[in-house]
Amino acid sequence: MKNTGSLNLEMRKKFHLSSKWQRALTAYWMIIPALILYVVLVIYPMFKGLYISFHRWDGLSEMKWIGLDNYKFVFADKIFWKAIKNSFVFAIGVTLVKNILGLFLALVVNQELRGRTFFRAAAFMPVTFAFVVIGVLWSWIYNPTFGLINNLLQAMGLESWIQGWLSNPKIALFSVMVVDIWKWTGFHMVLFLAGLQGISKEYYEAAEIDGAGMFRKFFHITVPLLGQVTAVSVIMSMVGAFVGNYDVVYVMTGGGPFHSTEVALTWIVNTTFRYAQVGKANAMSMILFVFVAIFGLAQFYFMTRNKAE
Amino acid sequence: MKRILYVLFSSIMVLTLAVACAQTAPVATEEPAAAPAQIEAAGEAAQSEEAPSIAGKTLYIQGSAITYPGQEDAWNEVNAAFEEEYGVTVVTNFSGLWSDIPTQLQTAQMAGETVDITTCGANQINSTLVRAGMIMDMTDLIAPIQDRWVQSTFTSYTIDGKIWALPWDSASTSAVFYNKTMFDELGIEQPTTYADIVAAAEVITASKPDVMPWVHQGKLQYMWPMWFMETFAQTSGNNSIQYTTDFLSGTRSFNSAEEIAAFEALKPFFDDGVLTQASLDTDQTGMDTAFGQQKAAMMYAGTWEITNIRAAVGDAFEVGVFEFPIVASDTSVLSQHGGGADSCLTVPSFAPQEDLGMIMQYFEYITRVDNANKILSLASPLLPVVSSVTPLDEPLAGDLNAIFLPHTIGFLDWIWPAEVNDAVMAAIPAVMTGQITSEEAAMSVQEAYDTLVAEQEYKFDWYSDWTDEDWAKVAPQSIPTFEVVE
């Protein structure tokens, strides 16, 4: 006859496993709808795009297999590489400014200031506007004849500062970057604000007792404790800047003047729909994906490495 | 369990990859179109029958945003009357830029959306859409009502002897519009040469520092090639069309002296202060507004702009016109301007074949005298494309018809493929502002052509390679019968 005690133990173990299995299964059932959407809208198009990139196709007639020729064409496409360079400049530039400015604003609105709710809302409001609306708005702000900026500079006697903000190839890209920064800084402010509010005041009190000043408290308490939030914020802004700049560039400059504001996405869309070179455009998309993936992974590694160590 | 889930999700990814690679390009699901002889026989049989009822159907029309003031209301009024008379529902979508039409069509086709009729431009018909097989051959479809149009306007839409679109709005030419009142006030004679233009600009700048001598809608990149067409017409000794055909056929290089000279002739407009940086940031509305508010003394545009100019100027000042100045060293050349029937209505090749009767009935309806005048009178019809439309009562019409129209040739961007067109578009302001030299500009256009040939096997006379199967995809399967009201 079996020992009742050990039999009970076995049954408890079995029950425990079943229960764990059930809980896990329930959780995975919950995410299956999202997973299906993800597969259909992201994974499938990605593989389909990879397949198309080995063909010559105008989007209508039958595809013709050409192997790696599209990739050769892309590597020889000077405008594509100019667009990639512009994309990197855009992404790195807006990421740096958005995060620095976002952190600064978060620090400010985290203080006990009168009207800070209003300032928080005001800073976040551009985030809610569509890029097309913002693009048209800023196109008029930058207008050389009727625009706010040039007219303000003229009124202040600074005519020498008047520029073709969107027509000067040397500054057009930076003018577009300003718009992206203006739109998204509020979002990063909110991220950092959440992080700041998660830092216990005791750290600052202890530092004050030890005689730490404002800058020491910031660099030795705030910055380290915001590490995770900073990593998320930077990665989000970097990836978003790479793949979310189409609207603003298209509306404001269309990629001009002389491709000085051309980014990877605008050139890919142009190649697909204006030139009907869907295969080549997909090859460009694959190359862009590789760049963004490598960049993103490297960034993630360096930003989270210290935590692991 | 982790291992099981890992296997499960990996299987999903591999399966997705297999599915993605297994599918081929969309293949027409309808039955193959009949051979041409069969279509003709079917058409003849169909004409002898009564027009089948189109009641209960829906007609989908799309196109770019309507820019002529009041024309959208006119379209709505005519469409409502068509709906009432024929029991058809008309759904219109006029949005976006004219240059986005190929994108709109391609997107609609990929998404499986129904598009029965689309507005379009001669540029897109000739350079992109027809050769891509996106447009239906309308030659036999419009036979019963073809005489409603000014026949010469079909030239812009005839390729390989076939008609691919119906001219719409108005035929046009290009001209420099100027503030005649300001010129008279400053004692400036109407310019004819580039030296006259520079002299006029100097007087204007000195007397009215806040006024730009000349404004252009340079923010719209597709409006720059007009400048090159003017200068190239002169530097080529008025052979620009032939030289362009030769270039696209591969027998002439764009790197030739005449093309380089044409780019070079544009640079002084910025160097001499005729054009300013402001033009690079100005769109159509900005240009009309600047001219209308007397912040600019001259503007270069097409006659399609006349209605907008009149709306912007009102009674503020008298508007005059002159031809693009002579910039070539050989002053015996003519100033030749791009023009023709710019806009059109056409039928996508993927429009449902069963809708052709309804589509043709709609074309018949909107080209009846009253309806055509209702819509097209608002398009500044200096030279109407539909014969029954009353020409524009415009003070400048006399000069434009007598002097400009005889000097009008087809726009080169109606012949250039999109890639070449874009290269020219990008090069012109870059040359004008000193970003690149004229030689580099010409080289960039030649490179665009060479790339097109290498990557897409581009051929100017693409139709010579089309098979019967290719032609069948753009041909109507049968010629529908529709009511023609005289």
pLDDT digits (tens, 9 = 90+) for B226-261: 999 999 999 999 999 999 999 999 999 999 999 999
The DSSP symbol for B347 reads -
Q: What angle do CA B238, B244, B247 make, to 5 degrees?
A: 135
Q: What is the mean pLDDT of residues B177-197?
A: 96
Range of the domain at A25: 4-52
| A21 in B contact zone (CB under 8 Å) | yes
Contacts of A58 in chain B (CB under 8 A): 132
In tens, the pLDDT along B23-58 reads 544 433 333 333 344 434 444 444 445 677 889 999
**Which of A256 and B138 is assigned the larger pLDDT?**
B138
Contacts of B280 in chain A (CB under 8 A): 144, 164, 166-168, 257
Contact B430 A257 (CB under 8 A): yes
Largest separation between any pair of C-alpha atoms in chain A: 103
Residues A42 and A86 in one domain: no
Contacts of A169 in chain B (CB under 8 A): 430, 433, 435
pLDDT at B37: 42
Q: How far is CA A115 from CA A108, A109, A120, A127, in A?
A: 12, 9, 9, 20
| A250 in B contact zone (CB under 8 Å) | no
Residues A171 and A76 in one domain: yes
CB-CB contact of B170 with B383 (8 Å): yes
The DSSP symbol for B154 reads G
Reading the block at residue B385, the tokens are 């494309």
Interface of B with A in 218-277 (CB under 8 A): 218-219, 221, 276-277
pLDDT at B49: 52
Nearest to B280 by CA among A256, A131, A135: A256
CB pairs under 8 A between A and B: 119
Interface of B with A in 300-319 (CB under 8 A): none
Residues A29 and A131 in one domain: no
pLDDT at B31: 37
Residues A13 and A138 in one domain: no
CB-CB contact of B419 with B448 (8 Å): yes
Contacts of A72 in chain B (CB under 8 A): none
In a domain, A58, yes or no: no
Contact B27 A254 (CB under 8 A): no
Contact B23 A168 (CB under 8 A): no
Domain count for chain A, please give it. 2
Beta strands in chain A (DSSP E): 55-56, 64-65
Nearest to A256 by CA among A132, A113, A6, A86: A86
Q: According to CATH, what is the number of the domain B36-169+341-392+460-474?
A: 3.40.190.10
Report d(CA A187, CA A126) in Å as an integer.
9
Report d(CA A232, CA A187) in Å as an integer.
12
CB-CB contact of B419 with A79 (8 Å): no
In tens, the pLDDT along B393-451 reads 888 888 888 888 889 888 998 889 989 999 999 999 999 988 899 999 999 999 999 99
pLDDT at B304: 85
Reading the block at residue B256, the tokens are 């030739």
pLDDT at B25: 43
Residues A175 and A266 in one domain: yes
pLDDT at B221: 87
Q: How far B455 CA sits from the closest chain A CA (Å)?
A: 7
| B206 in A contact zone (CB under 8 Å) | no
Residues of chain A with pLDDT under 50: 1-2, 308-309
Reading the block at residue B403, the tokens are 């002097």
Is this prediction's ipTM beyond 0.85? no
Q: Is a pLDDT exceeding 80 seen at residue B21?
A: no
The DSSP symbol for B146 reads G
CB-CB contact of A274 with B422 (8 Å): yes
| Residue B31 burial (10 A CB sphere; 0-12, 13-18, 19+) | exposed
Reading the block at residue A309, the tokens are 């160590």
CATH architecture label of B174-340+409-456: 3-Layer(aba) Sandwich (3.40)
**Which of A295 and B385 is assigned the larger pLDDT?**
B385
Contact A257 B103 (CB under 8 A): no
The DSSP symbol for B51 reads P
pLDDT at A7: 56
Reading the block at residue B272, the tokens are 């001499």
Residues A12 and A91 in one domain: no
The reply to whether B36-169+341-392+460-474 and B174-340+409-456 are identical in fold is yes
Report d(CA B13, CA B423) in Å as an integer.
41
Q: What is the mean pLDDT of residues B58-68?
A: 92
CATH of the domain at A105: 1.10.3720.10
What does the domain layout of chain B look like in residue ranges? 36-169+341-392+460-474, 174-340+409-456
Contacts of A165 in chain B (CB under 8 A): 281
Contact B20 A143 (CB under 8 A): no
CB-CB contact of B361 with B151 (8 Å): no
The dihedral region occupied by B368, where left means phi > 0, alpha psi between -120 and 50, and beta the remainder, is beta
pLDDT at B20: 66
| A280 in B contact zone (CB under 8 Å) | yes
Contact A48 B20 (CB under 8 A): yes
In a domain, A12, yes or no: yes
Hey, of B281, B282, B420, which one would you mutate to test binding to chain A, going by the most A CBs within 10 A of its CB? B281
Contact B133 A142 (CB under 8 A): no
In a domain, A246, yes or no: yes
What secondary structure does DSSP assign to A171-237, as a single string? THHHHHHHHHHHHHHHHHHHHHHHHHHTS-HHHHHHHHHTT--HHHHIIIIIHHHTHHHHHHHHHHH
Q: How far A286 CA sits from the closest chain B CA (Å)?
A: 15
Top mean-pLDDT range of B147-161, B322-336, B355-369, B460-474 = B355-369
**Cα atoms in the 13 Å half-sphere on the side-chain side of A287:** 24
In tens, the pLDDT along B325-381 reads 999 988 899 999 999 898 999 999 999 999 999 999 999 999 999 999 999 998 878
Residue carrying the six token digits 């008298």: B318
Q: Is a pLDDT exceeding 80 seen at residue B6?
A: no
Q: Is the whole model's pTM more than 0.80, yes or no?
A: no
Residues A180 and A207 in one domain: yes
CB-CB contact of B421 with B225 (8 Å): yes
Interface of B with A in 57-116 (CB under 8 A): 102-103, 106-107, 109-110
Reading the block at residue A69, the tokens are 């020729």
Task: Work out the number of other CB atoms within 10 angstroms of the CB of residue B447.
Answer: 15
| A167 in B contact zone (CB under 8 Å) | yes
What are the percentages of helix, strand and coil residues in chain A, rounded to 5? Answer: 75, 0, 20
CB-CB contact of B93 with B124 (8 Å): no
Contact B281 A58 (CB under 8 A): no
The DSSP symbol for B379 reads S
**Which of B104 and B180 is assigned the larger pLDDT?**
B180
Chain A residue with CA closest to B16: the answer is A44
Residues A229 and A122 in one domain: yes
**The amino acid at A250:** Y
**Which of A15 and B481 is assigned the larger pLDDT?**
B481
Average pLDDT of chain B? 88
Contact A277 B455 (CB under 8 A): yes
Chain B residue with CA closest to A166: the answer is B281
Q: Which residues contact B195 (CB under 8 A, 6 or more apart)?
A: none
Chain B residue with CA closest to A257: the answer is B426
Contacts of A143 in chain B (CB under 8 A): 281-282, 286
CB-CB contact of B294 with B317 (8 Å): yes
